[in-house]
Amino acid sequence: MNRLLRHALAASIVALAISSAASATVIIPGQTINAGAGSIRPVGGVITDNTGPLPFASGSFSGTLTSMVITGDTSNPFGGLTFTYLLTNNAGSFDELERMTVGSYITIATDVDYRSTSVGQIPTDFTRSVNGNVMGFDFQPVLGGGNGGLAPGSTARLLVVQTDATLYTSVLATIIDSGPAQVPSFAPVPGSGTAPEPATALLTIPTVALLLSRRRR
């Protein structure tokens, strides 16, 4: 067996194992995952940018969104930027908030979670669009099988997105209930990631195995 290919196969297996162990909430394009029990992430790091609480409003609701960018988060399995989102529904709103979306995650390796030690409404699930660009955070009503929408006068748990991105940019987040509202936020610069997404990593082992098979022949 060619030594280079043997080492490549071993490295692929180790990398996949490390990736799986480091994060159970990796989300790939087209996937929806249950929010689960949350975690204590992020851990450490430096706040690089912070929007502060920015207001948004639609016909039946209003609230604020605080977005932050963190570097040096030691719990980030990818070693890149960590993004956090703190969503609040004002007490004067008529409706619960059911969903928030943030774009600009295309080509970025992404891990999503909420901080379990923060106070507020737990999200129902996390989604990612088929092309990987849009991250979604759902607060589904109890009758729909969820934990309940984000009620007037309440705040959601801190939403955490860990990435391999090295650059970030200003985007518009969308808050959705009976109608949408938009508010400035942060997200990665597409293409600024440093690692293959999990879906790509899964293809690495079969590909290397095929090369080894051809080499033996």
Domains of the chain: 25-196 (2.60.40)
Predicted model pTM: 0.79
Q: What is the mean pLDDT of residues 84-99?
A: 96
pLDDT exceeds 90 at position 196: no
Q: Where are the alpha helices (DSSP H) in the chain?
A: 3-22, 198-216
pLDDT value at position 200?
43
The three-class DSSP label of residue 203 is helix
pLDDT class of 178 with cuts at 50, 70, 90: confident
Centre a 10 Å sphere on the Cβ of residue 105 and count the other Cβ atoms it contains.
27
| Contacts for 217 with CB less than 8 Å, ≥ 6 apart | none
Kindly state the greatest CA–CA separation across the chain. 72
And the tokens for 50?
Answer: 């912070």
Instruction: Select from 207, 185, 181 the least CA-distant residue to 196.
Output: 207
And the tokens for 124?
Answer: 């129902």
pLDDT value at position 20?
38
**Beta pairing partners, 50:** 68
By CB atoms closer than 10 A (0-12, 13-18, 19+), residue 92 is: exposed
CA–CA dist 33, 214 (Å, integer)? 38
pLDDT exceeds 80 at position 201: no
Tens of pLDDT, residues 46-89: 999 999 999 999 989 999 999 999 999 999 999 999 999 999 99
Instruction: Select from 50, 71, 23 the least CA-distant residue to 197.
Output: 23
Tens of pLDDT, residues 1-28: 455 444 444 434 333 333 333 444 899 9
Instruction: Select from 21, 24, 28, 50 the least CA-distant residue to 38.
Output: 24
pLDDT value at position 140?
82
